[in-house]
Structure 1
Amino acid sequence: MRQWVRAAALVAVTALAACGGGGPRGIVGGSYTGGAVPAFGDTAPHVWKHGHPYNLPVHGVDVSRYQGNVDWHAARRAGVSFAFIKATEGGDHSDPNFRRYWADARAAGVPRGAYHFYYFCRGGAEQAAWFIANVPRERGALPPVLDLEWNHASRNCRHKPSAAEVQREVSAFLSVITQYYGQRPIIYTTVDFYRDTNIRHLNAEFWLRSVADHPRETYPGQRWTFWQYTGTGTAPGFRGNVDLNAFAGNRAQWNMWLGSRMQR
């Protein structure tokens, strides 16, 4: 039964992820009107030419220490339906606000998952072990997320691996995390990383960053579950900008997806 529900949820989500929508009804003062979550806004609003996120009904945020103090109850009342919270990066760094956000989001009734920012100077299994050491295995949590983007210009890690190395080490990470949490991680990625590494061949759900156009234009043919559509969003409960994201389906499909992908 669980396998059927999960398959149905993914079919519904991926079918919708290939579709676009009409244009937004209006953009006023850094915000939009007529969208599914009118309390959300954007300090640098974008004109969407090939479909837009605003009328998708399920929206959420991703956060790290830079969000500071968050009023999760206000965020939930305003329409934040999910949150992905930064937990770890590399093999030795953890976000100092993770545990607070993790507990407070749950107390406010916001479904949340943890994400790991990947560095290429450590192996996938080592980074998976670091994530496990910092993120509880908890009933009702969203699947873990692996954040994959180029970071070889950082002062901590200058290595830029080949596509083959990326796929090998990422596969190791996914395998360890899946075994421990009972859910295969979602992969978050950016246009250039996706293009350079062929990670589309990995067995994973995708969360795609596309802040200038619809994902079907920037990632042709790629199915997706989440779309990060702005890094300059605004929402009640957050003092400054926050990343905003949309789920690919409607409310019924969202509830089906939760039923199949929450940790047990």
Structure 2
Amino acid sequence: MSRTSNSSTADGHAGRAAARSGIGPPGPESAPTTGSRLLLLGALAGPAYVLVSLTQALSRDGFDLTRHAWSLLANGDWGWIQVTNLIVTGLLVMAGGAGLRRTLRPGVGGTWAPRLLVGYGASMVAAGIFRADPALGFPAGTPTDAATVSWHGMLHFGSGAIGFGCLVAACLVLARRFAADGLPGWAAFSRTTGVLFLAGFVAMAASGGRVAANLAFTAAILLAWTWLSLTMRHHRRRAATRQLPTPDRRS
């Protein structure tokens, strides 16, 4: 009996020493904590992107919110700000997607929702690297009827189309997850966001710069970023709830 007690004591000391030194398997709180931090980064992506974009749109000479897409801000002397904005925001979205992977699995959408959001983030990084062509008189001095499309302009549009497709699909996949979790309001919010964003993008792409279509797409962008930030915040809260320690019944 003495040997058993000594062995247990030694094992306890060894376990505590291993925990202090970081040796051994991670505790049960490691994954949720990391996931929570990643989800916070994802939640910050939308507000940061919208704030930086609107600040430029309202301050840069010649930019018209009713006619110009935000991607045109990547041109001109101050274009590096929007380039940086796109790349940093894309990285934040990718971090949020990685956080969702940790918190959604296993379950409906636990594999594809994170992948689609990472794809959307990667497309934003690509859209920042490959700038849109100047158009519709912006930056100042650009012909209003400029129709030349460069190779980087084509890659910008292509990466945007792929990314927007990933975002719409992520909305629909997460709608299924919310429905499976018994959250019909969140499911409807996700489906509505996906459908309206797709409609706004198609209208903008087919309109040739018409004011109504451009404003509709701007509204769809704001809705999508609101949805993404709230979704990240929701899953971060759920992860924190699951992480709370359970009472020790032996005490």
TM-score, length of structure 2 as denominator length: 0.24
Give the number of the structure whose residues are more often strand, by fraction.
Answer: 1
Which of the two has higher C-alpha Rg?
2
Bigger relative contact order, structure 1 or 2, given CA contacts below 8 A and separation 6+? 1
TM-score, length of structure 1 as denominator length: 0.23
Give the number of the structure whose residues are more often helix, by fraction.
Answer: 2
